Amino acid sequence: MSKKIYRLGLLLIAVSWISCDDFLNTELKGEYSSDNYYKSEQNAVMAVNAIYNSLYGNTLWIFGDVASDDAVKGGNAGDQADINAINDFSARSDNGVLNTYWKSAYETVSRANNAIANIPAVAMDQVTKDRLIGEARFLRAYSYFNLTNIFGKVPLKLQAQTNTTSIFVGLSEVNAVYAQIEKDLTEAAAVLPTQYPVDKGRVTKGAAYALLAKVQLYQKKYAASLASIAALEELKMYGLVENYADLFRAGAEDSVEVIFGLRYIDNTEVSLGNHLNVWFAPSTEGGYYFNAPTQDYVDAFGEQTVTNQDDPRLDASIGRQGKPWFNNTTFSAAWSEATGYLVRKYNENMTPGIAKSQSTIPYHAIRYADILLMKAEAINEAGGSDALPKASAELNKVRSRAGLAPSNAATKAALRTAIRNERRKELGFEFHRFFDLMRWGKETAEEALGEDFKWVEPRFYFPIPQSELDTNQALK
């Protein structure tokens, strides 16, 4: 789905005036408030479209990748110091990255809250109304899931921000945030369709089940997570594509493997493309070469396929010396001053005259391989007499697609390690790794992140931005 449909398209009509008094007493023309906007089905749809639009400033990579052992900041050594502070865990509340992400996520929450509060009163088809509210609930849940995993306790704002009570909200415990996320996703799953004949890219029932399963897994609610995965699989909508690399090419948004993500299908305007490839591409292509993969990430691919080849996911995920790159070029380690590697996902062969920022490569927030690995993890951690073979079977579906032999893990602990290693390889540079390390606990996180990282109970969280501390009167 193009970002273009996610813009409200409200044009402010210029008001001509003669005196200050006339201007101040003239009712604004063409400007909508919540009181006069929600009057038709079309406006309700546009309001929900605007929630999607707020997701496209996608900086989750700074937390999911750069804060993990998969990547370092990259780019010029002195550029974007605030990203480097995320990288080495020295970020303070005045960090610009934290502030930008916080504001973006709460903009999504605010737009969702407005839709949830106002759409019920719109005279329109009930099925469409329920669906739109379900979409808003999912997008609010998705934002809170990321917020609480980055910051821990956050203000749980659930009302349209029309007064000081709804604007100034104190911190909620993480378990309370999770409870609301689960509630939103459960209600969304009950009303969302399994697919859309047109207008593809909107949130589906499968997406709600998938995110719910993930939220439950993060809380170690293994039985509940497996139930949500079962509900998703009963839809019979998802599977694995044959070729892993095909997931990261233009058009992959319609893949059977993609459950939820961001689409970029309009490459005619610079502002509507996927800007991730600008951040990650080499300077020879006009990129900033950030998010540089580490040698440790490359070394994780030590296992070869059954035909004695490199794991195909490695070269589909990153660029490395002497390997094919894009537009008939060969990758040079000199393009990445920090590590010698760059992210390949989100890059593509660009047509002459089309800017890097007009890329149409999609971002997959949740795909079916992730679900299979979550299922394997939940089965293994829940235990039981047949847990090992059942969990191994799910793990091996992912390994088989990569051409690897079945796992030979013979104990729960060995299989846990195998599943965790597979998540790293399968989901590399899709912004999951840091959050996985945090939920797996102190020992795993400290081993992976090294001496720069200091675990703080109950787990490491980044500080709440100073701008929120200064303006939110409910925060003490």
Kindly state whether residue 364 falls inside one of the protein's structural domains: no
Kindly state whether residue 120 falls inside one of the protein's structural domains: yes
- pLDDT at position 1: 36
Kindly state whether residue 244 falls inside one of the protein's structural domains: no
Kindly state whether residue 163 falls inside one of the protein's structural domains: yes
Range of the domain at 71: 40-192
Residue 96: CATH number of its domain = 1.25.40.390
Q: What is the pTM of this model?
A: 0.92
Rounded to whole angstroms, how far apart are CA atoms 208 and 229? 10
Question: Which parts of the chain sit beneath pLDDT 50?
Answer: 1-30
- Condensed to tens digits (0 to 9), the pLDDT of residues 291-316 reads 999 999 999 999 999 999 999 999 99
DSSP class of residue 352 equals: T
Kindly state whether residue 82 falls inside one of the protein's structural domains: yes
Kindly state whether residue 429 falls inside one of the protein's structural domains: no
Domain count, the chain: 1
- pLDDT at position 267: 58
Kindly state whether residue 48 falls inside one of the protein's structural domains: yes
Rounded to whole angstroms, how far apart are CA atoms 125 and 119? 11
Going by C-alpha positions, the residue among 64, 59, 187 that lies closest to residue 131 is: 187
DSSP class of residue 247 equals: G
Rounded to whole angstroms, how far apart are CA atoms 112 and 141? 10
Rounded to whole angstroms, how far apart are CA atoms 45 and 9? 12
**Burial degree of 134 (CB within 10 A; 0-12, 13-18, 19+):** buried
- Condensed to tens digits (0 to 9), the pLDDT of residues 446-455 reads 999 998 899 9
Secondary structure of residue 354 in the 3-state scheme:
coil
Rounded to whole angstroms, how far apart are CA atoms 74 and 341? 9
Kindly state whether residue 188 falls inside one of the protein's structural domains: yes
- pLDDT at position 269: 62
